[in-house]
Structure 1
Amino acid sequence: MSSKKTGSCLCGKVNFEIAGEFDNFFLCHCQYCQKDTGSAHAASLFSTSAKLNWLSGQDNIQTFNLPQTRHVKSFCLTCGSAMPNIQMDGQLLVVPAGSLDDEVSIQPNAHIFVSSKADWDDNLENIAKVDKFPS
């Protein structure tokens, strides 16, 4: 029996369900992922067998394919939240880990494209950890 995970965007207009298992979980440090997340890396889950079911808001999703690359990003048109997309002619489901409302049960497999890693993304485990916004 396959597992099911639910997810949504920040504004709540888009809701989805993933039925099945994830094959891989990568933290991608490529320059494209840095640009489209505004962060050091993207955290994406990949599956060749899981199925995506849009529960609401599918018409509020925009997909951007960066020309002449394999880089694809889907997002909510209202709030900009990263959303799942299907790539490789329907053979690959890519789900931003942060878009899931349920816990992710697998650990990342690897950091990828580390040759493009942000110069400030080093030894981050050594900086202060604060439970809420600092005062």
Structure 2
Amino acid sequence: MTRLSSGSCQCGAAKFEIEGDFEHFFLCHCSRCRKDTGSAHAANLFSSRASIRWLSGGEVVRTYRVPGTRHQKAFCVECGSALPREEAGGNMLVVPAGCLDTPLDMRPTAHVCLSSRAAWDNGLEDAPGFDGLPG
């Protein structure tokens, strides 16, 4: 049976379905991915076989490419949420894991670009945890 995943942006303007399996799930620590997410890393799923179908909001999706590089990001112009994009002439689907609404049964395949990892990203498992915001 073919995997069917669904997702959306934060404001709900863009909704999509993905048919097919993901081959890789990378946590990328490069400086560009940190800038894209405002966090320690990007969490992206990759597939050369899956296809995407926009259910709504295809017109609110924009893609930004860092000049002179292959690095790009798709996002909703209404809320700024990261969204899926096709790369390599449509031969690779890249899906930010956080935009999926369907539970993901895949664990990250690897951390990549660790040579440019932020110094504050080491030992995070030692930081205290809370189920909600701290009081």
TM-score range for the pair, normalised by the shorter chain length: over 0.9
Distance 1:103 1:76 in 2: 21
CA RMSD of aligned residues (A): 0.6
Structure 2 residue aligned with 1:11: 11
Distance 2:91 2:66 in 1: 19
> What TM-score do the two structures reach when normalised by structure 1?
0.98
Is structure 2 residue 98 aligned with structure 1 residue 90? no
Shift of 1:65: 1.1
> What TM-score do the two structures reach when normalised by structure 2?
0.98
More helix by share: 2
Shift of 1:68: 1.4
Q: Which runs of 5+ in 2 are unaligned?
A: none
Structure 1 residue aligned with 2:112: 112
Q: Percent identity?
A: 51
Distance 2:130 2:105 in 1: 25
Shift of 1:82: 0.1
**Deviation beyond 6 Å, 4+ runs, structure 1:** none
Distance 1:105 1:44 in 2: 14
Q: Which runs of 5+ in 1 are unaligned?
A: none
Shift of 1:104: 1.1
Structure 2 residue aligned with 1:59: 59
